[in-house]
């Protein structure tokens, strides 16, 4: 018989406590069920192929689901969003479940992670989410440059590199939202020049705390970089060049 990872009732209780602790809205039953099925599938697949190092269910709920949802309040209604380096779907899948108004593209260079995201799209009927396997620097994605209202990205690269990967995809008037742990200021100082060259404007820092199940908390910083000007067409450069000659 198939092992149940957690009874739905238990999942719902832990998830709702975590949402409340973090001042997030409690979802309707249908959405909570979808979060349950997503988490169940993540745990099942993670048992045979490594998608995330976080395996304890309460931690998956706070550090993956709720952490991803911290970005939701910054996303305008109906926005076209790119999740660059989505891994197994963070933040894109929690955002797609909670905000069906968003049109989200999830991009990752690892085929196995994108295969998992695609499986979740089919399993959970996430019609507003599209998964693409590829690297942000790939020229075959150039038709998408400058087309997104918001590019979100969590745990992909330090700010100077992340800016070169992400800002070219943001339309002028939109913004990059980088989901970071603490100590974002140093990274940001280092990235100032890159941001300017890439067309970024005056950056906003949204500092917050992620409350964990056991009552402890971790610092989070959401860096919002508005796209003030077009990015020169030479960016993003090949990854080896980005690393060798950082802006």
Query: Nearer to ligand SAH by C-beta: 154 or 220?
Result: 154
Paired sense of beta strands 170-181 and 217-226, if any: antiparallel
**Piece in contact with ligand SAH (CB under 6 A), picked from 8-16, 109-117, 190-198, 219-227:** 109-117
**Shortest Cβ 41–ligand SAH spacing (Å):** 15
In the chain, how long is the greatest CA-to-CA distance? 57
Asked if omega into 152 is within 30° of 0 (cis), the reply is: no
Choose, by CB under 6 A, the member of 79, 156, 162, 198 that binds ligand SAH: 156
CA–CA distance from 48 to each of 58, 77, 85, 180, 211 (Å)? 20, 37, 22, 28, 30
Binding-site size for ligand SAH (CB under 6 A) equals 17
Does 108 interact with ligand SAH (rule: CB under 6 A)? yes
**Shortest Cβ 4–ligand SAH spacing (Å):** 25
**Shortest Cβ 2–ligand SAH spacing (Å):** 26
Nearest Cα neighbor of 151 from 134, 164, 138, 160 is 164
x/- letters, 78..107, toward ligand SAH (CB under 6 A): -------xxx--x----------------x
DSSP state, residue 155 = S
**Shortest Cβ 8–ligand SAH spacing (Å):** 24
Does 113 interact with ligand SAH (rule: CB under 6 A)? yes
Does 164 interact with ligand SAH (rule: CB under 6 A)? no
What is the rounded distance in angstroms from the CA atom of residue 241 to the CA atom of residue 222? Answer: 27
What is the rounded distance in angstroms from the CA atom of residue 141 to the CA atom of residue 165? Answer: 12
Nearest Cα neighbor of 96 from 10, 161, 35 is 35
Q: Using CB under 6 A as the criterion, which residues of the chain lie in contact with ligand SAH when the complex forms?
A: 85-87, 90, 107-110, 113, 135-137, 154-156, 165, 239
């Amino acid at each position: 018989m198939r092992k149940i990872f957690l009874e739905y009732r238990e999942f719902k209780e832990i998830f709702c406590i975590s949402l409340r602790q973090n001042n997030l809205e409690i979802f309707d039953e249908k959405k909570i069920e979808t979060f349950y099925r997503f988490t169940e599938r993540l745990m099942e697949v993670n048992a045979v192929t490594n998608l995330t190092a976080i395996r304890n269910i309460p931690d998956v709920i706070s550090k993956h689901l709720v952490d991803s949802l911290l970005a939701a309040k910054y996303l305008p209604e109906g926005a076209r969003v790119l999740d660059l380096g989505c891994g197994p779907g963070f933040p894109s899948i929690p955002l797609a479940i909670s905000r069906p108004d968003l049109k989200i593209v999830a991009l990752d260079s690892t085929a196995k992670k994108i295969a998992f995201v695609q499986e979740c799209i089919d399993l959970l009927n996430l019609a507003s989410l599209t998964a693409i396997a590829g690297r942000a620097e790939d020229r075959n994605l150039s038709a998408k440059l400058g087309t997104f209202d918001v590019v979100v990205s969590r745990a992909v690269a330090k700010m100077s590199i992340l800016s070169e990967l992400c800002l070219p995809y943001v339309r002028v008037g939109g913004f990059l939202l980088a989901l970071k742990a603490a100590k974002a200021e140093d990274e940001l100082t280092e990235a100032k020049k890159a941001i300017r060259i890439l067309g970024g404007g005056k950056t906003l820092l949204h500092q917050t705390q992620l409350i964990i199940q056991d009552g402890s908390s971790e610092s989070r910083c959401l860096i919002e970089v508005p796209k003030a000007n077009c990015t020169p067409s030479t960016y993003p450069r090949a990854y080896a060049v980005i690393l060798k000659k950082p802006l």
